Amino acid sequence: MTDLSVMPPKKAIGPIQWMKRNLFSTWYNVVLTLVVAYLIVTSVGPLISWFFVDANFMGSDPKDCSGAGACWVFISQRLDFFIYGFYPGEQQWRVDLMFLLLAVAFVPQFIERFPGRKWLGLFGVVGLPVAGYILIPGGPFGLSEVESTKWGGLMLTLILAYIGIIASLPIGILLALGRRSEMPIIRGLCVVFIEVWRAVPLITVLFMASVMLPLFLPEGLNFEKLARALIGITLWQSAYMAEVIRGGLQAIPRGQYEAASALGLGYWRKMGLVVLPQALKLVIPGIVNTFISLFKDTTLVLIIGLLDILGTVQSTVTDPSWQNVAVEGYVFVAFCFWVFCFGISRYSQSLERKLDTGHKS
């Protein structure tokens, strides 16, 4: 027979009991609960009806929007433009293929036991830029050329963010190592580079790249605007990255450096095999933070007339044949950014868990 006196108290209580205890325990809790409930009902209700109930999803022209709720018809009609920009329709399969490769390379990274996951990741870092360099601009293999002025929309946002991220990490590592170097010239150069680039706003960098740089170049030598913007973004981002990584390098105890030297490792093997793997692991949150902020900062290319996803939306919401569709457009952009930034963030968390070797406590 069970002795009731030693049983733990019942954990589960009914919903009414729970509410009584948590929501209506005192008179001011009652007031707070009622006020919050009122706010939720009055604000969430209209939001839901604007987003879904009264919204228009089906149709093909402005008349299909009743005006009572969101006009998603506008988004669905312009979706191709928001994703591909001015990329010619019959060539859009090339961009689709890149989206597919991007998904193939990175979606499995979320699945712990996916076979060949590492190889896919390596492909994502090495193969993907090569594939993109061939597929998107065209040229080789009989692919017709598509000038960078025709790139736009989500595709351009991803290109800017991806190249910025992939290129800034190695440059940032080199700069961070250089800043901690014992060779004064290298150290000096790295310090100057980092401090100069980090001290200017990205908007200034882009503006210089777009407006000032062409005036200094000799006539006839004309970098594409996108290339100028990419170089600017990459250099600016690597200065930030360098400081994040330097933070990691400083967190590694001196003993690790000395132990690696004692094993007879040279500088590069000491750094590559002992110090960097630990340092990078420590600063994953910082690195990812910089990635995410770069992803969002790419929208600044708007000011130099590159139509990324925000630019394509902004250039069309003023179309007078539609009613006021600005809110729908911005909600769509916000959703796209959220999907990608949330994805990056989730990936970094799984990476942290995987690399956790229990040194943290």
Partner 1 sequence: MRKAKSIALGVALALGATVASGVMAATTLENVMEKGRLQCGVTTGLPGFSQPDEKGNWTGIDVDTCRAMAAAIFGDPKAVDFTPLTAKERFTALQSGEIDVLSRNTTWTLTRDVSLGLNFAGVNYYDGQGFLVSKDIGVNDAAELDGATVCIQAGTTTELNLADYFRAKSMEFKPIVFDTSEQTVQGFAAGRCDVLTSDRSQLAALRSKLADPSSAKILPNTISKEPLGPVVRQGDDQWFNIVKWVLSVQINAEELGVTSSNADDMLKSDNPSIQRLLGTDGDMGAKLGLPADFGYKVVSLVGNYGEIYDRNVGPDTPLGLDRGINALWNDGGILYAPPVR
Which residues would be at the binding site for partner 1 (CB under 8 A)? 77-78, 80-81, 84-87, 89, 122, 125-126, 129-130, 133, 137, 147-150, 152, 163, 166-167, 169-171, 207, 210-212, 214-215, 217, 219-225, 227, 230-231, 234, 272, 302-307, 311-312, 314-321, 323-324, 326
Residue 301 beta carbon to partner 1: minimum distance, rounded to whole angstroms: 11
Residue 43 beta carbon to partner 1: minimum distance, rounded to whole angstroms: 18
Residue 320 beta carbon to partner 1: minimum distance, rounded to whole angstroms: 4
| Closer to partner 1 by Cβ: residue 23 or 280 | 280
Instruction: Give the count of beta carbons closer than 10 Å to the beta carbon of residue 88.
Output: 11
DSSP 274-314: IIHHHHHHHTHHHHHHHHHHHHHHGGGGGGGT--BHHHHHH
Residue 318 beta carbon to partner 1: minimum distance, rounded to whole angstroms: 6
Residue 199 beta carbon to partner 1: minimum distance, rounded to whole angstroms: 22
Residue 343: exposure state from Cβ atoms within 10 A (0-12, 13-18, ≥19): middle
Instruction: Give the count of beta carbons closer than 10 Å to the beta carbon of residue 15.
Output: 7
Residue 123 beta carbon to partner 1: minimum distance, rounded to whole angstroms: 10
| Residues 113, 118, 124, 128, CA torsion sign | negative
3-state secondary structure at position 308 = strand
| Closer to partner 1 by Cβ: residue 137 or 178 | 137
- Are the beta carbons of 194 and 239 closer than 8 angstroms? yes
| Closer to partner 1 by Cβ: residue 44 or 68 | 68
φ/ψ of 85, rounded to 5, equals 65, -130
Residue 30 beta carbon to partner 1: minimum distance, rounded to whole angstroms: 36
Residue with the two structure tokens 């949150």 = 285
Gap between the terminal Cα atoms of the chain: 44
| Closer to partner 1 by Cβ: residue 150 or 296 | 150
3-state secondary structure at position 68 = coil
| Closer to partner 1 by Cβ: residue 143 or 303 | 303
3-state secondary structure at position 71 = strand
